[in-house]
Structure 1
Amino acid sequence: MKTRIITLFILMFIIYSCKNEDQQLKTGNEKVNELYKGPIIDMHIHAYNEEIGGMMFGMNHPNPLKNETYKGVQTPEEQRVESFKKFEKNNIVLALTSDGQLWFEEAPDKILISGRNMPLDSLRNMAENGTLSAIGELNPFYGGITADDESQKPFFDLAEELNLPVGFHIMPGGPPGGIYHMGMDRVRVRNANPIQLEEILVSHPKLKVFVMHGGWPYLEDMKAMLYAHPQLYLDIAAIDWILPTKELHNFLKGLIDSGFGNRIMFGTDQMVWPETIDIAVDAVNSAEFLTIEQKEDIFFNNAAEFLNLSEERIKELKSK
């Protein structure tokens, strides 16, 4: 009897020891998700005044995909102040801003102006004055028009002539179901595929273009476009706060695993909901499959390369 009890205790001890050792091995092999805390370049954000974005002020944004609602600011001044607070909190050192001329005087070292919905002459004048960093967002998608429509060609021609990059907006177009409200009745999913840019890129080989919102949900077509056209980049603005985190990560991982981690840029598409900046930063930082080096590429390095920032400027920004 005593022998059986002793044997039982020995067996229990061995089982416990094995389990404990196995747990220690698992713990030792677990990948630590390192958070990126360095400087960030936001490649897609908006500045508004009453004329440009008046209808949006005070508008909350319900997001049924995540069962969340984002609170809208009430005035252009509140939008600017709260956005700048988020810049400071998240170490956003540069922001390519559609209609950035509205914020430029407040922070000329931080705001890069992107010309949006402007006549060609105005864009040219701004470029010649040295105040224009990009053209975009170009968003014919809202009018049911694709990139290869003849009406868009003058903008791409001008951008190539002036050596300015272009931000081209496709999906998502407004909130889920936006076709049925907010005057977005011309939006069509069939016009959202990034392949629509192919003839533009071929006919403008010196032109740099970035697909706003990453070409989601057309992952395979986006990979094909990146493979074929090395001058094409993308930002993950809006999809990094409006999509469920798992869906964003699946999309990101597909691009990373295909070797395109050096052409993914961070963006927020922050309009009148400043909290979405925090959500977007956290969504990338929470991606455990990304190394800290890959996060740095997405948050900073890829945009610095795309914007042709000088080594001195990069060094300055990384010191902040």
Structure 2
Amino acid sequence: MRRMLILLLLSGSVLSVGAVEFPHGGPVIDMHIHAFALDVPPGTAACPGDEGVSNPPIDPREAFDLSRLAACTHPMRAPASDAALRDETLATLRKHGVRRAMTEGAPERVAEWRRAAPDLILPGVGFGKRKDPGIDELRRLHAAGQLAVLGEAYIQYRGLRPDDPRYEPYFALAEELDVPVGIHLGEGPPATSRFPGHESYRASMGSPFLLEEVLRKHPKLRIYVMHYGSPLVDEMIAMMFAHPNLYVDVSCNNWSFPRAQFDAALKRMVDAGFSQRILFGTDQLYWPEAIGEAISAIEEAPYLNPAQKRDILYNNAARFLRLNQQEIAADHAMPPAGASVAER
């Protein structure tokens, strides 16, 4: 009987346990959340869904004006403080039935978020920044339970290739410890070359093909490409076909890009047969409302059947993270007291 229940849960046939219904037909795993300080002014706007990133012409003689890229009818607004960003993000994750969220940021801030939601936060540690954690520090964090995913890898933002020798020790460590890696390949913020702090970013360093030597050298590495190498979808498909340990996530593109562009990319990967290698993520940054927008992009996709939606929202990540049957059953069961998943 117990085995039958677990099989039903895995298939998505059971939508509720203990009279609690999940708002999206089952639990959700978010593979891309950030525990950031509020590094933008409170109230800073971002445009969701069909009003996502616009690319108006910019006269190179004019000063860069971010507000021109966030002019929309129904903008999302950044919270008022660091604490509000944390609390609103955690509350929104719970509201949408997210049971696990890979959360990257400064280790001390991720630990703070984890203390506020120990059942929810999977700690991530990034690298490829201007100042990276050392290998010994990563070993210490892993031993202390503070490293579940090595990522986000920001190598493209440094204008460097994933197979740059300086990052080889990080991939080797992840393979040794059997820790998944999440790496950014794809677009950055709009007008990235003019965006403050991102002057080193190179679009050419976002090619999925640049990851091939890393995968060949580390065949046991679990790795997922954040943003699926957008917009180089055919290159990403070729890489997934060749390397079965390679997954992608759909974060940020699913809420901040024009829906038609996102749908075309996701459908292309699904039509190519990779619906079970696509992970859900949000990359909410400073806008907790992005979580609901990102889920809606999956739920409203007319080319996905119910099983594919469940795979993307939960099942694929459960497999990628190697959750056991007890953990999967717990994710489908009653949420912690005071953390209803049915509230909208």
TM norm structure 1? 0.84
Equivalent residue runs for 1:1-320 within 5 Å = 36-49=24-37, 54-58=38-42, 59-61=44-46, 63-64=53-54, 68=72, 69-99=75-105, 100-117=110-127, 118-174=133-189, 176-320=190-334
Q: Tell me by how many angstroms 1:67 deviates.
A: 5.4
Contact 1:36 1:295 in 2 (8 A): no
Corresponding residue of 2:341: none
Asked whether the 8 Å contact 1:48–1:102 carries over to 2, the reply is no
CA RMSD of aligned residues (A): 1.6
Q: Which amino acid aligns with 2:31?
A: M
CA displacement, residues 236-286 of structure 1 (integer Å, 9 cap, x when unaligned): 000001111121111111111111000000000011111111111111111
Larger mean CA deviation between 80-89 and 255-264 belongs to 80-89
Q: Distance in 2 between matches of 1:37 and 1:56?
A: 34
- How far residue 55 of structure 1 moved from its aligned partner, in angstroms, is 2.6
Find the aligned partners of 1:131 and 1:221 in 2 and give their Cα distance.
33
CA distance in 2: counterparts of 1:105 and 1:163, whole angstroms: 25
The answer to whether the Cα contact below 8 Å between 2:150 and 2:174 also exists between their aligned partners in 1 is yes
Given the superposition, is the C-alpha separation of residues 204 and 57 from structure 1 closer, same or farther in structure 2, using an over 3 Å criterion?
farther
> Which amino acid in structure 1 is aligned with residue 332 of structure 2?
K
Structure 2 distance, partners of 1:127, 1:110, is: 18
Where structure 2 has 5 or more consecutive residues not aligned to the other structure, the ranges are 1-22, 48-52, 56-69, 128-132, 335-344
After TM superposition, give the deviation of residue 141 of structure 1 in Å. 1.0
The residue type paired with residue 145 of structure 1 is L
Which amino acid in the other structure matches residue 113 of structure 1?
P
269-278 or 292-301: bigger deviation: 269-278
Count of residues in correspondence between the two structures:
281
For 1:245 and 1:279, the matched residues in 2 are separated by: 11
* Alpha-carbon offset, residue 57 of structure 1: 4.8
**Is contact 2:181–2:223 with CA below 8 Å preserved after alignment?**
yes
Q: Distance in 2 between matches of 1:270 and 1:57?
A: 16
Q: Contact 1:57 / 1:75 at 8 angstroms: preserved in 2?
A: no
Q: Secondary structure at the match of 2:114?
A: coil
Q: Could you tell me how far apart the structure 2 residues matched to 1:56 and 1:41 are?
A: 27
Amino acid at match of 2:54: P
CA distance in 1, matches of 2:135, 2:79: 31
Q: CA deviation at 1:87?
A: 1.0
Larger relative contact order (CA 8 Å, sep ≥ 6) = 2
- Structure 1 equivalent of residue 62 of structure 2: none
Please list the CA deviations of residues 178-225 of structure 1 after superposition, one character each: whole Å capped at 9, or x if unmatched: 211222111121111111111000000110110001111111100000
Q: Distance in 2 between matches of 1:42 and 1:102?
A: 19
Contact 1:114 1:135 in 2 (8 A): yes
Separation (CA, whole Å) in 2 of partners of 1:231 and 1:274: 31
Q: Deviations over 1:28-86 (max 9, x none)?
A: xxxxxxx943110000000024xxxx533524336326953431123110111110121
Structure with the higher helix share, 1 or 2: 1
Worse-matched range after superposition: 293-302 or 239-248: 239-248
Give the SS at the match of 2:123.
strand
- Match of 1:116, SS? strand
Which residue identity lines up with residue 126 of structure 1 in the other structure?
Answer: L
Percentage identity across aligned positions?
A: 37
Q: Secondary structure at the match of 1:288?
A: coil
What stretches of structure 1 of length at least 5 have no aligned partner? 1-34
User: Partner letter of residue 46 of structure 2?
Assistant: H
- State how far apart, in whole Å, the 1-side matches of 2:269 and 2:202 are: 25
Distance 2:295 2:71 in 1: 19
